Amino acid sequence: MDFEDTPEEAAFRAEARAWLEANAPSPEDARKMGRETTNEAESLKRAKAWQAKKADSNWACLHWPKEFGGRGATPIQRVIWEQEESRFAVPRGFFEIGLGMCGPTMMNWSTDAQKQRYLPKMLRGEEIWCQLFSEPSAGSDVAGLRTRCERDGDDWIINGQKVWTSGAHYSDFGIIVTRSDPTVPKHKGLTFFFIDMKSPGVEVRPIKQISGTSNFNEVYFTDVRVPDSQRLGKIGQGWEVSVSVLMNERLAVGDAPGPGFDEAFALAREVELESGPAIRDSNVRQKLADWYVQSRGLKYTKFRTITALSRGAVPGPEASITKLVSATNLQNIASFGMDLQDMGGSILDPEVAPANAIFQQALLYSPGLRIAGGTDEILRNIISERVLGMPGDIRVDKDVPYNKLPTGKA
Amino acid sequence: MDFEDTPEEAAFRAEARAWLEANAPSPEDARKMGRETTNEAESLKRAKAWQAKKADSNWACLHWPKEFGGRGATPIQRVIWEQEESRFAVPRGFFEIGLGMCGPTMMNWSTDAQKQRYLPKMLRGEEIWCQLFSEPSAGSDVAGLRTRCERDGDDWIINGQKVWTSGAHYSDFGIIVTRSDPTVPKHKGLTFFFIDMKSPGVEVRPIKQISGTSNFNEVYFTDVRVPDSQRLGKIGQGWEVSVSVLMNERLAVGDAPGPGFDEAFALAREVELESGPAIRDSNVRQKLADWYVQSRGLKYTKFRTITALSRGAVPGPEASITKLVSATNLQNIASFGMDLQDMGGSILDPEVAPANAIFQQALLYSPGLRIAGGTDEILRNIISERVLGMPGDIRVDKDVPYNKLPTGKA
Amino acid sequence: MNFAFSDDQNMLRDQAAKFLAARCPTSAVRKILEGEATWDKALWDGIVELGWTGVAIPEAYGGLGLGHLELCVLAEELGRVLAPVPFSSSVYLATEALLLAGSEAQKQAWLPKLAAGEVIGTFAVAEGAHQPTSRSLAAKVENGRLDGVKLPVPDGLIADFAVVMARTSTDAGARSASLFIVDLNGPGVTREAVKTIDPTRNHATITFKGAPAEALGGTGEGWALSEAVFDRAAVLLSFEQVGGAQTALDMAREYAMGRYAFGRPIATFQAIKHKLADMFVALELGRSNAYYGAWALASGSADLPVAAAGARIAASEAFYLAAKENIQTHGGNGYTWAYDCHLFYRRSKLLALTIGSAPHWKELLISRLEARNAA
Amino acid sequence: MNFAFSDDQNMLRDQAAKFLAARCPTSAVRKILEGEATWDKALWDGIVELGWTGVAIPEAYGGLGLGHLELCVLAEELGRVLAPVPFSSSVYLATEALLLAGSEAQKQAWLPKLAAGEVIGTFAVAEGAHQPTSRSLAAKVENGRLDGVKLPVPDGLIADFAVVMARTSTDAGARSASLFIVDLNGPGVTREAVKTIDPTRNHATITFKGAPAEALGGTGEGWALSEAVFDRAAVLLSFEQVGGAQTALDMAREYAMGRYAFGRPIATFQAIKHKLADMFVALELGRSNAYYGAWALASGSADLPVAAAGARIAASEAFYLAAKENIQTHGGNGYTWAYDCHLFYRRSKLLALTIGSAPHWKELLISRLEARNAA
Interface membership of C328 toward D (CB under 8 Å): no
Rounded CA separation C302/C323 (Å): 33
Position B290 in a domain? yes
Q: Is B167 helix (H, G, I), strand (E, B) or coil?
A: coil
* Contact check, Cβ <8 Å, B286/A283: yes
- CA proximity to B320, closest of B387, B245, B242, B258: B387
C67-78 tens-digit pLDDT: 999 999 999 999
**A232 and A298, same domain (yes or no):** no
Position B117 in a domain? no
Where among A214, A242, A270 does a domain terminate?
A242
Position A346 in a domain? yes
Rounded CA separation D348/D286 (Å): 13
- Most D CBs within 10 A among B165, B275, B324, B346, hence the mutation to make, goes to B346
Position A248 in a domain? no
Nearest CA in chain B to C281: B321
Instruction: Give the closest-approach CA distance of A285 to chain B in angstroms.
Output: 8
Residue C80, class by beta-carbon neighbours within 10 Å (0-12 exposed, 13-18 middle, 19+ buried)? buried
Interface membership of C34 toward B (CB under 8 Å): no
Residue D374, class by beta-carbon neighbours within 10 Å (0-12 exposed, 13-18 middle, 19+ buried)? exposed
Residues D56-74 have a mean pLDDT of: 97
Helix boundaries (H) for chain C: 7-23, 26-33, 41-49, 68-80, 87, 96-101, 104-115, 222-258, 270-299, 304-334, 341-354, 358-374
Where in the sequence is the domain holding A67, given as residue range(s)?
A: 7-92
- Most D CBs within 10 A among B137, B343, B371, B403, hence the mutation to make, goes to B343
User: Domain D223-374 in CATH: superfamily?
Assistant: Butyryl-CoA Dehydrogenase, subunit A, domain 3 (1.20.140.10)
Kindly list the domain boundaries of chain C, sorted by start residue: 7-119, 122-220, 223-374
Position A110 in a domain? no
What is the total count of domains within chain A? 3
Tell me which H or E stretch contains C135: none
Nearest CA in chain A to B284: A283
Interface membership of D134 toward B (CB under 8 Å): yes
Nearest CA in chain A to B288: A283
Enter the pTM of the model.
Answer: 0.96
Comparing D7-119 with D122-220, is the CATH topology the same?
no
D236-280 tens-digit pLDDT: 999 999 999 999 999 999 999 999 999 999 999 999 999 999 999
Cβ-based neighbours of D162, under 8 Å, separated by 6 or more: D94, D121, D122, D123, D124, D150, D153, D156, D181, D182, D184, D206
Rounded CA separation C136/C150 (Å): 12
**A26 and A81, same domain (yes or no):** yes
Quick one: pLDDT at residue A409? 65
D303-316 tens-digit pLDDT: 999 999 999 999 99
**A63 and A181, same domain (yes or no):** no
Backbone angles phi, psi at C204, to 5 degrees: -135, 155
Q: Answer yes or no: are the C-beta atoms of D182 and D162 closer than 8 Å.
A: yes
* Contact check, Cβ <8 Å, A367/C262: no
CB atoms within 10 A of CB D173: 11
A5-14 tens-digit pLDDT: 899 999 999 9
Q: N- to C-terminal Cα distance for chain A? A: 52
Pairing of strands C203-216, C177-183: antiparallel
* Contact check, Cβ <8 Å, A395/C196: no
Q: Which residues of D touch A277 (CB under 8 A)?
A: none
Dihedral of CA B346/B350/B356/B358: which sign?
positive
Rounded CA separation A331/A347 (Å): 17
Sorting pLDDT into bands at 50, 70 and 90, what band is A387?
A: very high
The rounded percent of chain C whose pLDDT value lies above 70 is: 100
Rg of chain C over all Cα atoms, to the nearest angstrom: 20
Where among B242, B269, B303 does a domain terminate?
B242
**A309 and A340, same domain (yes or no):** yes
Rounded CA separation C51/D342 (Å): 62
Residue C145 pairs with which residues in a beta bridge?
A: C142, C212
Q: Answer yes or no: are the C-beta atoms of B291 and B333 closer than 8 Å.
A: yes
Q: Answer yes or no: are the C-beta atoms of C114 and C94 closer than 8 Å.
A: yes
Task: Given the residues A249, A272, A274, A385, select the one marked as catalytic.
Answer: A249
Q: Which residues of B touch C298 (CB under 8 A)?
A: 1
Among B281, B285, B394, whose Cβ lies nearest the Cβ of A394? B394
Residues C221-229 have a mean pLDDT of: 98
Quick one: pLDDT at residue A87? 87
CB atoms within 10 A of CB D192: 11
**B202 and B288, same domain (yes or no):** no
Indicate the fold that domain C122-220 takes in CATH. Answer: Butyryl-CoA Dehydrogenase, subunit A; domain 2 (2.40.110)
Tell me which H or E stretch contains B345: none
Rounded CA separation A175/A197 (Å): 10
What does DSSP assign to residue B279? G
What does DSSP assign to residue B257? P
Tell me which H or E stretch contains D65: none
* Contact check, Cβ <8 Å, A140/C337: no
Residues C359-363 have a mean pLDDT of: 98
Statement: residue D373 has pLDDT above 90: no
A171-229 tens-digit pLDDT: 999 999 999 999 999 999 999 999 999 999 999 999 999 999 888 999 999 999 999 99
Predicted confidence pLDDT, tens digits, chain B (410 residues): 888 889 999 999 999 999 999 999 888 888 888 766 678 888 899 999 999 999 999 999 998 999 998 999 988 898 899 889 888 878 778 998 999 999 999 999 999 999 999 999 999 999 999 999 999 989 899 999 999 999 999 999 999 999 999 999 999 999 999 999 999 999 999 999 999 999 999 999 999 999 998 889 999 999 999 999 999 999 999 999 999 888 766 555 556 688 999 999 999 999 999 889 999 999 999 999 999 999 999 999 999 988 888 888 777 777 899 999 999 999 999 999 999 999 999 999 999 999 999 999 999 999 999 999 899 999 999 999 999 999 999 999 988 999 999 887 65
Position A182 in a domain? yes
* Contact check, Cβ <8 Å, D271/C270: yes
Instruction: Give the closest-approach CA distance of B376 to chain A in angstroms.
Output: 19
Beta-carbon contacts below 8 Å between C and D: 10
In three-state form (DSSP H/G/I as H, E/B as E, the rest C), the secondary structure along chain A is: CECCCCHHHHHHHHHHHHHHHHHCCCHHHHHCCCCCCCCHHHHHHHHHHHHHHHHHCCCCCCCCCHHHCCCCCCHHHHHHHHHHHHCCCCCCCCCHHHHHHHHHHHHHHCCHHHHHHHHHHHHHCCCCEEEECCECCECCCHHHCCCEEEEECCEEEEEEEEEEECCHHHCCEEEEEEECCCCCEHHHCEEEEEEECCCCCEEEEEECECCCCCCEEEEEEEEEEEEHHHEECCCCCHHHHHHHHHHHHHHHCCCCCCCCHHHHHHHHHHCEECCEEHHHCHHHHHHHHHHHHHHHHHHHHHHHHHHHHHCCCCCCCHHHHHHHHHHHHHHHHHHHHHHHCHHHHHECCCCCCHHHHHHHHHHHHHHHHCCCCCCHHHHHHHHHHHHCCCCCCCCCCCCCEHHHCCCECC
Beta-carbon contacts below 8 Å between A and B: 17
Q: Answer yes or no: are the C-beta atoms of B60 and B22 closer than 8 Å.
A: no
Interface membership of D258 toward B (CB under 8 Å): yes
Residue C180 pairs with which residues in a beta bridge?
A: C164, C215
Residue B150 pairs with which residues in a beta bridge?
A: B157
Quick one: pLDDT at residue C38? 97
Statement: residue A30 has pLDDT above 90: no
Q: For residue B363, what is the domain's CATH number?
A: 1.20.140.10
Q: Answer yes or no: are the C-beta atoms of D232 and D309 closer than 8 Å.
A: no
What does DSSP assign to residue C125? -
Rounded CA separation A275/A285 (Å): 14
Tell me which H or E stretch contains D81: none
Instruction: Give the closest-approach CA distance of C250 to chain B in angstroms.
Output: 9
Statement: residue D100 has pLDDT above 70: yes
Q: Is D253 helix (H, G, I), strand (E, B) or coil?
A: helix
Position A298 in a domain? yes
Interface membership of D41 toward C (CB under 8 Å): no
**A282 and A222, same domain (yes or no):** no
* Contact check, Cβ <8 Å, D334/B371: yes
**A285 and A316, same domain (yes or no):** yes
Rounded CA separation B22/C307 (Å): 37
**A264 and A369, same domain (yes or no):** yes
Rounded CA separation B75/D113 (Å): 72
Average pLDDT of chain A? 92
**A290 and A203, same domain (yes or no):** no
Interface membership of D128 toward B (CB under 8 Å): yes
Statement: residue D150 has pLDDT above 90: yes
Any chains having at least 3 CB pairs less than 8 A from chain B are A, C, D
Position B143 in a domain? yes
Where in the sequence numbering do the catalytic residues of B fall? Answer: 249
Dihedral of CA A372/A378/A383/A389: which sign?
negative
Quick one: pLDDT at residue A410? 57
Sorting pLDDT into bands at 50, 70 and 90, what band is C202?
A: very high
Q: Answer yes or no: are the C-beta atoms of C289 and B300 closer than 8 Å.
A: yes
Q: What is the total residue count of chain A?
A: 410
The identity of residue B55, as a single letter, is A
Quick one: pLDDT at residue B410? 57
- Most A CBs within 10 A among D9, D246, D288, D289, hence the mutation to make, goes to D288
Residue A130 pairs with which residues in a beta bridge?
A: A174
**B272 and B226, same domain (yes or no):** no
DSSP-assigned letters across all residues of B14-47: HHHHHHHHHHPPPHHHHHTT-TTSS-HHHHHHHH
C133-162 tens-digit pLDDT: 999 999 999 999 999 999 999 999 999 999
Among A289, A298, A377, whose Cβ lies nearest the Cβ of D362? A289
Quick one: pLDDT at residue A373? 86
Quick one: pLDDT at residue A254? 56
User: Domain D7-119 in CATH: superfamily?
Assistant: Acyl-CoA dehydrogenase/oxidase, N-terminal domain (1.10.540.10)
